[in-house]
Amino acid sequence: MSGNTDRAPFKTIHSWPRAILHLDADAFFASCEQAVHPELRGKPVITGKERGIVAAASYEAKARGVSRGTRLSDVKKICPDAVILPSDYETYSLFSVRMFEILRRFSPDVEEYSIDEAFVDLTGLRRSFHGPYGMIAKKMQETVEAELGITVSAGVSLSKVLAKAASKHGKPRGLTLIPGGDIHLYLRDLPVGNVWGIGPNTAAYLGKFGIRTALEFARKDEKFIGRYLSKPYREIWHELNGRSVYPVVREPKTDYQSISKAKTFTPPSGDETFVFAQLSKNLENACMKARRYRLAAARLIVFLRRQDFRHAGVEMKLCRPTAFQAELYGPLREGFNSIYRRGVLYRQTGVVLAGLVAGDSLQYTLFDDAVKIEKLTKVYDAVDRLAGRFGKYTVMHAASLPTRLQAQHEGARGDVPARKTEQKLFRGENRRQRLAIPLLDIRV
Q: Is the peptide bond before 321 cis (omega within 30 degrees of 0)?
A: no
Position 395 scores a pLDDT of 85
- Residue 183 DSSP label: H
Segment 22-32, tens digit of pLDDT: 999 999 999 99
Give the chain's domains with CATH numbers: 258-405 (3.30.1490.100)
Q: Is the pLDDT of residue 166 over 60?
A: yes
Is the peptide bond preceding residue 267 cis, with omega within 30 degrees of 0? yes
Is residue 31 within 8 A of residue 42, CB to CB? The reply is no
For residues 274-303, average pLDDT: 93
What does R_g of the chain's alpha carbons equal in angstroms? 24
- Over residues 288-296, the mean pLDDT reads 91
CA dist., res. 444 & res. 440, Å (int): 9
**Does the pLDDT at position 77 exceed 50?**
yes
pLDDT interval class at 436 (50, 70, 90): very low
**pLDDT per residue as tens digits for the range 329-345:** 999 999 999 999 999 99
How many CB atoms are closer than 10 A to CB 56? 22
Is the pLDDT score of 214 beyond 70?
Answer: yes
Is the pLDDT at 441 greater than 60, yes or no? no
What gap in Å lies between CA 100 and CA 95, rounded to an integer? 9
* Model confidence at 408: pLDDT above 60: no
The listed range with the strongest mean pLDDT (11-15, 237-241, 263-267, 306-310) is 237-241
Whether the Cβ atoms of residue 114 and residue 93 lie closer than 8 Å to each other: no
Instruction: Please indicate whether residue 112 is annotated as part of the active site.
Output: no
For residue 253, the model assigns a pLDDT of 67
Provide the pLDDT confidence category of residue 435 given band limits of 50, 70 and 90.
very low
**Residue 189 pLDDT:** 93
pLDDT in tens, 9-24: 555 556 789 999 999 9
Specify the pLDDT at position 254.
64
Question: What pLDDT score does 413 carry?
Answer: 40
Count Cα neighbours of 337 within 13 Å in the Cβ-side half-sphere. 6
For the question of whether the overall pTM of this predicted structure is more than 0.95, the answer is: no
Pick the catalytic residue: 117, 239, 284, 429?
117
